Amino acid sequence: MRKLVFAAILLAFVACKPSETTTGTTETSSTAATATAAPVRLQGAGSTFDTPLFSKVFDAYQKQGGAEVNYQSIGSGGGVQQLIKGVVDFGASDFPLNDEQTKAAEAAGGPVVHVPITMGAVSIGYNLPVDGLKLDGPALADIYLGKITKWNDRKIAALNPGVKLPDTAVAVVHRAEGSGTTFIFTSYLAAISPEWKSKVGAAGSVQWPVGIGAKGSEGVSGQVLNTPGGIGYFEMAYANQNHIKSALLKNADGQFVAPSVQGAADAGAGAAANMPADLKAVFVNAAGPTSYPIAGFSWIIVFQHQKDATKGQAIVNMLKYVVHDGQQFAQALDYAPLPKPVQDLDDKAIASITVGGQP
């Protein structure tokens, strides 16, 4: 069969005509289908921010008869590079491709499609014998600029009246590799600190003024957990799963808020209602009394024009599952489910994926 068809139709066709070979399906739950068509395997790589969610979603998808998805948690920058090089079928990133990356991708395999697949909060984890530490954007920027070196610095003390802060050195931890979480974090710092914006900027990979680098959100959270006075940034799930304290951050409305699923959802509400055509929305320091200020989308990025019909259909089926059924797992894993308007826009983006000029 040459046309791409849905798995249910293919399985019915196999049951009626077991002697014929079928292709174009991601499903392998039928013995007849398994005997006549090799299972589809998808290769993905990128965001460590997404890893807790992907581990659950891709496992559930395969158990329901979907394609096997092998995902490598190597950081958004690595995932983008592997997509451009053709090593993987999709990249996952917490930053949208910039102009240079977009041109490289188009030269390698044509235009790409950005599909937002979740929203999450970036926790500012710290290792101190202090609960409920409060920080604002300027103080956080000064910490990462190396201007605040002790936890009892007057700027931090002013934000935490009545709290006995230790005379402990601040141990700054950041990502060692290109990272979408770094993009979200530095975008926030650039939004609230003119000095950070001019000296460092916002990107997935920057020249850090101070601190030590660790690989992945796993590495940063682990370093903070094991370093007295440590501070670092990572997806909220890593803070909760490792019992790392997270700072309360002063948001755009002047309220101190802890990272939460609802805080990320509230921050992303405005972006969801005003998504650009390419779906590359960034919403750090969003307005709203309950909005958490360091939050963002994460995307799966694929080439719009697929070369292999079977693999292309498998990618489309996987994306539909992640965008819709897969959202049921988000909240329990500390991610904000996609709002309905974003899911609708995702469907349009997924529908634009073609093989040989055909949807």
Question: Same domain, yes or no, for 129 and 193?
Answer: yes
Predicted pLDDT of residue 5: 36
Question: Same domain, yes or no, for 137 and 259?
Answer: yes
Tell me the HSE value of 344 on the side-chain side, using a 13 A CA sphere. 7
Residue 10 has pLDDT above 80, yes or no: no
Name the nearest CA neighbour of 117 among 279, 231, 269: 279
Question: Same domain, yes or no, for 84 and 66?
Answer: yes
Residue 259 has pLDDT above 70, yes or no: yes
Contacts 24+ apart (CB under 8 A), 63-68: 64/29, 65/7, 65/26, 65/27, 65/28, 65/29, 66/26, 66/27, 66/317, 66/318, 66/321, 67/26, 67/39, 67/40, 67/41, 67/42, 67/314, 67/317, 67/318, 68/39, 68/40, 68/41, 68/42
Q: Does 291 fall in a domain? A: no
Residues in the chain: 359
Question: Same domain, yes or no, for 94 and 127?
Answer: no
Q: Which of residues 238, 273, 308 is at a domain's end?
A: 273
Lowest mean pLDDT: which of 88-92, 158-162, 266-270? 266-270
According to DSSP, the residues that pair with 288 across neighbouring strands are none
Question: Same domain, yes or no, for 262 and 143?
Answer: yes
> 273 falls in which pLDDT band (50, 70, 90)?
confident
Q: Report the SS3 class of residue 317.
A: helix
The radius of gyration of the chain from alpha carbons, rounded to an integer in Å, stands at 22
Total domains present in the chain: 2
Residue 14 has pLDDT above 80, yes or no: no
Predicted pLDDT of residue 356: 87
Contacts 24+ apart (CB under 8 A), 221-227: 221/125, 223/173, 224/125, 224/126, 224/127, 224/173, 225/125, 225/127, 226/127, 227/127, 227/171, 227/173
Region 66-83 average pLDDT:
95
Q: What is the pLDDT of residues 108-162, one digit of tens each?
A: 999 999 999 999 999 999 999 999 999 999 999 999 999 999 999 999 999 999 9
Question: Same domain, yes or no, for 174 and 261?
Answer: yes
Question: Same domain, yes or no, for 160 and 178?
Answer: yes
Domain range spanning residue 208? 121-273
Q: Does 44 fall in a domain? A: yes
Question: Same domain, yes or no, for 132 and 258?
Answer: yes
Q: Which of residues 239, 273, 307 is at a domain's end?
A: 273
DSSP state of 245: E
Q: Which of residues 273, 288, 315 is at a domain's end?
A: 273
Residue 64 has pLDDT above 70, yes or no: yes
Q: Does 287 fall in a domain? A: no
Predicted pLDDT of residue 208: 98
CATH number assigned to the domain comprising residue 240: 3.40.190.10
Mean pLDDT, the chain, whole residue set: 90
Question: Same domain, yes or no, for 128 and 267?
Answer: yes
Higher pLDDT, 36 or 150: 150
Predicted pLDDT of residue 20: 36
Residue 13 has pLDDT above 50, yes or no: no
How many Å apart are CA 74 and CA 227, to the nearest integer?
Answer: 23
Predicted pLDDT of residue 270: 87
Q: Does 226 fall in a domain? A: yes
Judge whether 236 and 123 are in contact, CB under 8 Å: yes
Q: Does 288 fall in a domain? A: no
Q: Does 283 fall in a domain? A: no
Predicted pLDDT of residue 295: 96
Residue 299 has pLDDT above 50, yes or no: yes
Question: Same domain, yes or no, for 235 and 131?
Answer: yes
Question: Same domain, yes or no, for 269 and 125?
Answer: yes
Predicted pLDDT of residue 357: 87
Name the nearest CA neighbour of 44 among 122, 104, 115: 115
Residue 310 has pLDDT above 50, yes or no: yes
Q: Does 209 fall in a domain? A: yes
Q: Does 165 fall in a domain? A: yes
Predicted pLDDT of residue 38: 55
Question: Same domain, yes or no, for 329 and 341?
Answer: yes
Predicted pLDDT of residue 8: 36
Tell me the HSE value of 107 on the side-chain side, using a 13 A CA sphere. 8
pTM: 0.83
